[in-house]
Structure 1
Amino acid sequence: MTGKESRFLRLLGTPALFAQGCEIALPEKAYALLAFLVTAPQCSMDREILRSILWQSDQSKQRAGSLRQLLARIDRSIPDDMPRLIRATNTHAQFNHDDWEADVLVLSNSAAPLPRSAWDFLRGDLVEGFKAPTIEAEERIGVEGQRIAQRREAHIIALLETPEKRTSADILFLAGLLVDADPANEVACRALMQRHADAGDIASARQAYFRCRSELKTEYGAEPDGLTQALALELGIVAPAMVQGAPTHMPDVPIDPLGQPRVMILPPDSILSDPVLQRVGRALLEEVTIGLSQQRGFKVIAAHTSLEILNRSLAGAQTAPPPPELRFDYTVYVTIHGREDDIYATCRLTKTSTAEVLWAIDLPLAMQKVNHSFGQLARRIVMTLADTIERRELLDMTHDVNPSAYRLYLEGKRLVSKTDLQHLRQARKWFKSALARHDRFSSAHAGMARVLGMEWLVRGMKDTQLLEEAERSAWLARDNDPNSGRAMRELGFVALYRRRFSDSLDFFAEAQMLNPNDADILADHADALLHDGQSDRALELSLAAIKLNPLPPDYYYWNLGGIHFVQENYAKAIEVLDRVKDRPATSRLLAAAHAKNGDRELASRYASIVLESFPDFRTDDVWRFVPDRNPDDTRQLIDGLRMAGLS
């Protein structure tokens, strides 16, 4: 292959650049720049617009320099004997579409349905995995992604409308793409019904029809259109009475405005077979159920209900499909097995809709130390189940054109683990979107309180407007779920930074009582104890939090480093903070710690980062945002900052 066809830019899915059969490495941000150019009119954009989209800096010269460097790096990446990838002038940048091909352009410019060789363009998100540096960049990628999705749908529908030219595998593939994007797509439904019926698989044809019908009813309150119903009748999928006249009544499924996953915990097998292990099995079942319920992110079907469902199935009862309240997304199977001292608990998490095993483990249960080992076992199972379910829900969100409030909340929760302003502000946007779908979602209100409070703290702000907004969000979280440990945690956080020390400790104590194994609550409780002057107790809780969450968010290390600093163990503070040394939010504490530890050079380097990130910072401002009950603790920090060269 020679000419333009041998030079190809892939932007759908994992982005990459190819020339003459070889991949050309580009900087990660180059693909976002190319995506904006390729989707722009004439593949050209004003440089100032590009600068404002791709860089957050308030300094125009800094943005201009960043764009120049990026364009130069891209240009250096292209071999000298090849056409330039980007044509740049003083005012504009343009993708060289005359000499380079791009999948987005092929998809957009092709009037006829794509040939089979180009069907890969029907999959993959625009610059998949790209983390937008600005809200505008995120919005542009989202808008262009929607346009690409519409163009793809048109191509797929055109391909399915000529089924005589398609193999059975082609139809399954194409219809599957439409269903993944929109489970209520009736073109895909009819194609699947016809294909399964032609293969003699009426059961699968019926399943395709009723899945589409249910989705239409749930999402739009509508029935399938006349073409779909007529095909269902022709294929014998439904009886005439279901199409003609009034449709057969089906009980309405209540729409869950949150979209939280429902988890069924099935009882240990030993409950039904081994009387010796019966009590242990029941206790484990209850402990895991309670632990997952405390996470507040799942709707857990109670142990008694799961036992009743199992008993019915064992009795061989032939029942109708379960009512909505007994349908579930994930199943947790627990088995107790072994004898005497060799007792094991096996746990398996399954995605109900696909029967896919997402996680499984076999853990020993020491009967001679049953209380200790039982507690550890239950905590480990709960933490891993919660993490696995959340990660799976986030993965599923990438294929969901209308994500639930819960999935939007999870995206924000993922970003909150970082302490830089960019991630905090992106998280705020996700929480806001979740609340737009359900304004009584306690966890999203708690998340909003967290990002507002953290932004106030990271910026070291003098006014308290953000902190007041954080407090309002925290109370909304508490009012919508009085038993939420996370809501109490945010109330404790705000009370601490408003110097209501006793209230703060009371809120954290209640949060820990409601959810004793929540590592985030322990970490923040430790911070409140530190600022109250109880550094030894703070250290104990901080280490316990990291033990529960060995791969913690940034602020765990920030809090722990602060404890060591107050205890004048500066070397240990530096060791802990070194894991988050690239975060601007920790530069203040690192500057003071290095200065106190005698390393003025490193202290000065971190002091310069403080001023670069927060130009208005002054050491006297520390009194405003560091809420130490003991003024000497604050003086110790200010002294370290001044030793580092900050004024």
Structure 2
Amino acid sequence: MARTGYFLHTFGELKVLDPDGRQVFLPERGMLILAYMRASQRLEVSREILAAMLWPDVDRSIAFKNLRSTLLRMRTAGQLNPLPLSADGRMVRLQPDALHSDLDCFLPENDKLARLRQIVETMKEEFLAGTRNTNGPLKRWIEGQRQGYGELLRAAVLDGSPLATDRADIRAVKIACVQILQRAPNDMDIRNILDRAKIVESDDVPDRLFAVPRETQTRLDATIGVAPSPLQAERLSLPRVALLPPDTAEDSRLNGSVANALVEDVTIGLCSLRTVSVVAPFTSERIREADDKAAVLEKHGVIYALDTKRSGDGLFTQLIFLPTDEIIWAERFTLTAEGLTTQRSEISRTITQTIARQVDETAAAQLDFATRPQMYLNYLQGMQHLSELSLPGIRRARKKFRETLRLSPDFAPALAGMARTLTTEWLLTARGDEELLVAAEQKAMAAVHHNGNLAAGYRELGVVQLYLQKLDESLEALSTAETISPHYADALYSHADSLVHVTRPADGLVKIKKAIELNPLCPDAYFWTAAGASYFLGEFENAVAYIGQMRDARPADRLLAASWGMIGDKNKARASRQRVLRDNPSFDLQRWLEVVPMKESWQRELYREGLTKAGF
């Protein structure tokens, strides 16, 4: 059935639907005029104001010309059903009765809980979230509106929460509290409401939300503690946590998955903590869908990300400390139909407590990043370049790490990053340049010296000591890294690589498979190590298959050539050899075999045999 009038969506994607529910494709600045007038409840606005707001950085004459063009396009777009917007030489006018909007949810209503539910649903996305190139007065207006709608949501919670009696209403209250705490994590009134809502729901109390039994109130008071003063709350910088659901909302509904609901439960549980700021579930879902998750997480100031993946009836979770890209906790949970409600509660409590503990343990590191943002940015950019596994990439990374260390000479993660660039260059050039390794060892030891609890420092020390033929020391350092951070996938990968080189390829393959399980979208180096382990186990076809999973297999061309040589495919072995010589014309087989760290001669000879059969 056709609705009367046009409908304006302002939260999330800015769009206009015609009376038949079809989207009308209008210029963005034109839709912003509708949003500005509708949200401001202004029936008319001067051309002067609109031109200055929408085009603040151009000459006045050009701004007026742009406005005339926009209004003309708006008029021609609504030929069948004229848009409720008109203009004369001085003013632009809106017919409010002909333009409905999602903003109507904020209008007063007798049913306070129904109004709250509508506001919560509308505010899953941000006001004008997709608007681009906003600056000056338009940007300030949008920010003011977002703050105003946040205050309206808060008022709706305060009005509606005392009336909540059934689970559906209580859950709406909880979701609203989470949305508010995403913007204002230190709002103690909202935290108290959330805590009470959780307790009433978990205790199955069929009373009003604030009719909390005395023994429940005692538990609540112990949880809440003393509220900080306004000044303390303003100064308090809480680390931000994002819990990324395993599915999109649509996929979760189609698959009948409870995993997303579990992640939402954990999110609500974390909002009660006084030590973190939590990204609301809908925002986390948008982050999960983003092509460049790292950039979006950085944009939202996220320090910890709980990444989740669903597999059959199981849920795999890993908590990542983003400043160092370190997996500080991982676990797999089974979600079965039997006792699901109890399971969800127990799993939610386990994850919530774990995150709280990990946040507390890494508080000092988080503060270090928060107080020196430029240092943090340089470091993150260096880490991004490191993932390229190419000489230009690692040299760009080294430059960024140098800039980081210029700001903070004792910053251990950047020292560890410098060490990795040097050892990776040694590996890629295959010239046996010992100076690179000596410098790398010095940087890794400095990282360990400045932060003895940094797994990455021990990991880099173990890697460089492997290439310096200090095999026992390498295994010791890597074991220490794994002890400090048992779920640190990069440390497991490096430990696996060392095990391969000390004549334990079977153990190395087990460990690298665990690293890949922890980090399914892993760097190419993981597959390279798995291929090396397979080669020395005599599983040459598997070695080729692992190399085939690398996004850029050129660094592993020597191993690929040797594998094809052992398989007996001379054409493919020759093609791999030619790529090696094209990238490194001065490659010398004997020199490379002398510097490659291998504990026993049989490994060296097996490698020599494959490379010789490939034509080296």
TM-score (norm 2): 0.50
